[in-house]
Amino acid sequence: MTDALRLIIGSEVVCDDGAAGKLHRLIVDPEQRAVTHLDVEGRHPNDGHLVPIGRVRSADEEIHLDCTHEQFSHFLPAQDVQVVQLAGGRAQYGLYSGSMLARMPMFGLLGPGQLMGGMTSGRPAPGEHVATAPLDVVPDGEVDLRGGAYVIATDGHIGHVHGVVVDEAGHLTHLLLGEGHVFARKEVAIPVESVTEVTEAGAHLSLSKADVEALPALGA
């Protein structure tokens, strides 16, 4: 991996032997202030994988991975299955996780092969109906950062997440605000030292809007 990587959400992701998909979201360890995985949406529906940050060879306009399509297909799946079982007119919710812990805020975390709400993984009883839906996977203790997530200054909302810059170990150095924020510049880079909290909803800053407006351009 190079000294610094600019990871823009929505960027094209390329394997050694061709296009892999697009960067859907970033998985962040909030304690270490580091990106651990990239959620790369594959070329087919529900074919996303969590790519370890160490597999990123370079990143700017495109993100280049140090792997083939075959290796990409063996990375952890980015989605699991949410199960809704209708019994007697009532919906029971559960989660089948075949690979790793998945986040389900209302119902907690489950291990491999478990279902919640008193459900089992067997055949539904007569009169019961089961539906499934994809659910994004987030490793235990980590959060995901998505394009468009809010960025909040000390005096209010200032813009939306466009991406991040990380160092060679994956540690965050800057949070990027993209086009459409309140300032004239196309992109504003906020030093990670000024980010007080990163959650699924976005990031909170120790800076005011005026402080952010006064930040130098990245690399200046």
* Mean predicted confidence (pLDDT) in 160-187: 83
pLDDT of 100 reads: 40
pLDDT of 2 reads: 54
β-bridge pairing 34-41 and 18-29: antiparallel
The three-state secondary structure class of 72 is helix
Q: In the predicted model, is pLDDT for residue 24 greater than 50? A: yes
pLDDT of 202 reads: 85
pLDDT of 135 reads: 80
Q: CA-to-CA distance for 148 and 130, rounded, in angstroms?
A: 33
Amino acid in position 43? R
To the question of pTM greater than 0.85 for the whole model, the response is no
Q: CA-to-CA distance for 173 and 191, rounded, in angstroms?
A: 6
* Mean predicted confidence (pLDDT) in 173-182: 78
* Mean predicted confidence (pLDDT) in 100-108: 37
Q: In the predicted model, is pLDDT for residue 181 greater than 70? A: no
The three-state secondary structure class of 100 is coil
Q: CA-to-CA distance for 49 and 76, rounded, in angstroms?
A: 6
Summarize pLDDT for 110-163 with one digit per residue, the tens.
333 333 343 444 455 555 555 566 688 888 899 999 988 899 999 999 989 999
pLDDT of 200 reads: 78
State the DSSP H helix or E strand holding residue 209, giving kind and residue range, or none if neither. helix 209-213
Q: In the predicted model, is pLDDT for residue 195 greater than 90? A: yes
Sign of the alpha-carbon torsion through 219, 31, 38, 75: positive
Which position has the higher pLDDT, 181 or 3?
Answer: 3
Which position has the higher pLDDT, 29 or 44?
Answer: 29
* Mean predicted confidence (pLDDT) in 85-89: 53
pLDDT of 43 reads: 74
Q: In the predicted model, is pLDDT for residue 8 greater than 50? A: yes
Tokens describing residue 204: 């909170």
Which domains can be identified in the chain, with CATH numbers?
4-76 (3.90.50.10), 79-136 (no CATH), 143-213 (2.30.30.240)
